Amino acid sequence: MPAKKKTANLPKATFSSVAVVVSNRKKSLEWYTKKLGLDQIVSMEHWVTVGRKGKDGVIHLCQTSEYDKSIPPEKGNTGINLHIPGNFETSCAALAAAGVKFSTPPTKEEWGSWAAVKDPDGNEITLTPAS
């Protein structure tokens, strides 16, 4: 039987950011802030992030075409999950009214509720109720 690995001395990392490759950072910034309701955290040339002010973790809107035209936006499931405050159905209806397109409408499962939306480049983001 292999010896157990010690983890006590490992550094305690915290979440920093996740990059989402976008075709147009300005258009994506507008969608993430004005339609999805996130805050713009940083805007410095290539490094533009959105998230929630005063909270850990941001999404880096990464427009790679500025320095390498051969890198296309990555369309598909990003693995990003956002907790939505308030009544989930009401909050999703407010997002839809703001122009957010749902790839999966609010759905109730035995384990809870969820929905999925797509950003302007087709990147899918999962929404779940905040606890």
Which domains are delineated in the chain? Answer: 17-129 (3.10.180.10)
pLDDT at 121 (0 to 100): 87
Q: What is the pLDDT of residue 9?
A: 60
The model's pTM: 0.71
Q: Which residue has the tokens 């910034």?
A: 29
Helical ranges in the chain per DSSP H: 25-30, 88-97
CB 85 within 8 A of CB 94: no
* pLDDT per residue of the chain (131 residues) written in tens, 0 to 9: 565 655 556 556 566 778 888 889 999 999 999 999 999 999 887 789 999 999 888 998 988 777 777 766 666 666 788 888 889 999 999 999 999 999 999 999 988 899 999 998 888 888 889 87
- Within 8 A by CB and 6+ apart from 27, the residues are 120
